[in-house]
C-alpha cells in the first residue's frame, strides 16, 4: 500500500460532492470568493504564460487559468477528480506533487492551492514545483495559516463532513505560519511576496448574508497583497526561481 493511497481514496470520495457549493451552483458564495482571489493571484503572474496547477481537482480553477494562460495543465492524485476535469476538456494527468511527471523547467508558473497542507513532505513538494519551473518563473504555494479565523476554527472546531461517511480529519492536514516560508523554500528560489486569502471573512456561512456578499469580496481583494496577508486563512507565497545557479 502506497503512502498516497489514503489521500487518493479521500479525494476520490470527496469528488462526488466537491462542486455542490461551488460555481455555478453558488456563484456569489464563500467558495466563489476564495476561487476568485486565488485566480487573481495566478493571473498576476501567469497571464500569457505556461502554467501548471498541482492538485487541480475537478478543474474548476484550471479551466479559468486556461482562459488567460498560453497553456495550462494540471495534475492530481485522484482519478475521480480528474474524470470531471477531463469532461471539461482540460489537459490533466494523474500524479503527485512530490514526484511531478514533467521534465525540468517545463512551465513559467507552477501553482498549488489547498494541496500542500495535506503533504507531509512539503519541502520535497516545493522542490519539485521549483524543478519544473523555468528560470525567472514563479512558484505559487498556498499554505493553511494557523494565525487566522479559519485556522482557529479548523484546529479547534469540529471536523466538517465531506460525505455521508467521512470527515475532513480523515486526511493528514498541516498548518504553516507565513514566516516558515524561508525555511521550507527551495534554495533555487527567492521570496517575492505573500498574499492573503480570506483575511476578514470569519466563517464560510458569513457569505450567505446579502450585505457580506457585496462588501467582503471588495475588502478581501484590497487586503490580499497588504501586510495583513499574514492573517489570511490561506497564505499564498510567491517565489521566483533564480535566473542563474
Read off the pLDDT of residues 110-153 as tens digits, 9 standing for 90 and up.
Answer: 999 999 999 999 999 999 999 999 999 999 999 999 999 888 88
- For residues 209 and 109, give the distance between their C-alpha atoms in angstroms, rounded to a whole number: 36
Residue 206: pLDDT band by 50, 70, 90 thresholds? very high
Buried b (16+ CB within 10 A) or exposed e, 194-227: bbbbbbbbeebebbeeeebbeebbeebeebbbee
Residue 162: pLDDT band by 50, 70, 90 thresholds? low
Q: How many CB atoms lie within 10 A of CB 236?
A: 26
* Residue 126 contacts residue 114 (beta carbons within 8 Å): no
Give me the mean pLDDT over the 186-193 stretch: 97
Percent of the chain with pLDDT over 90: 75
Segment 53-91, tens digit of pLDDT: 999 999 999 999 999 999 999 999 999 999 999 999 999
Question: Into how many domains does the chain fold?
Answer: 1
- Residues whose CB is less than 8 angstroms from the CB of residue 213 and which lie 6 or more positions away in sequence, other chains included: 28, 29, 207
* Residue 32 contacts residue 26 (beta carbons within 8 Å): yes
Domain of residue 67, CATH code: 3.40.50.150
* Full residue range of the structural domain in which residue 69 is found: 5-241
Amino acid at each position: 500500500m502506497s503512502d498516497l493511497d489514503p489521500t487518493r481514496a479521500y479525494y476520490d470520495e470527496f469528488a462526488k460532492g466537491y462542486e455542490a457549493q461551488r460555481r455555478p451552483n453558488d456563484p456569489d458564495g464563500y467558495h466563489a470568493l476564495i476561487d476568485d482571489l486565488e485566480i487573481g493571484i495566478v493571473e498576476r503572474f501567469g497571464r500569457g504564460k505556461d502554467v501548471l496547477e498541482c492538485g487541480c481537482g475537478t478543474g474548476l480553477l484550471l479551466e479559468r487559468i486556461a482562459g488567460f494562460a498560453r497553456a495550462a495543465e494540471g495534475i492530481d492524485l485522484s482519478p475521480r477528480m480528474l474524470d470531471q476535469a477531463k469532461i471539461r476538456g482540460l489537459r490533466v494527468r494523474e500524479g503527485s506533487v512530490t514526484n511531478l511527471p514533467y521534465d525540468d523547467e517545463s512551465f513559467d508558473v507552477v501553482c498549488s492551492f489547498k494541496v500542500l497542507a495535506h503533504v507531509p513532505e512539503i519541502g520535497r513538494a516545493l522542490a519539485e514545483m521549483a524543478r519544473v519551473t523555468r528560470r525567472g518563473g514563479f512558484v505559487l504555494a498556498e499554505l493553511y495559516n494557523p494565525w487566522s479565523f479559519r485556522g482557529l476554527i479548523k484546529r479547534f472546531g469540529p471536523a466538517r463532513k465531506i460525505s455521508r461517511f467521512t470527515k475532513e480529519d480523515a486526511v493528514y492536514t498541516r498548518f504553516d505560519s507565513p514566516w516558515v516560508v524561508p525555511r521550507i523554500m527551495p534554495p533555487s528560489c527567492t521570496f517575492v511576496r505573500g498574499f492573503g486569502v480570506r483575511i476578514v471573512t470569519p466563517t464560510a456561512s458569513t457569505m450567505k448574508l446579502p450585505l457580506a456578499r457585496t462588501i467582503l469580496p471588495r475588502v478581501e481583494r484590497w487586503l490580499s497583497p497588504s501586510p495583513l496577508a499574514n492573517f489570511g486563512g490561506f497564505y499564498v507565497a510567491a517565489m521566483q526561481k533564480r535566473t542563474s545557479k
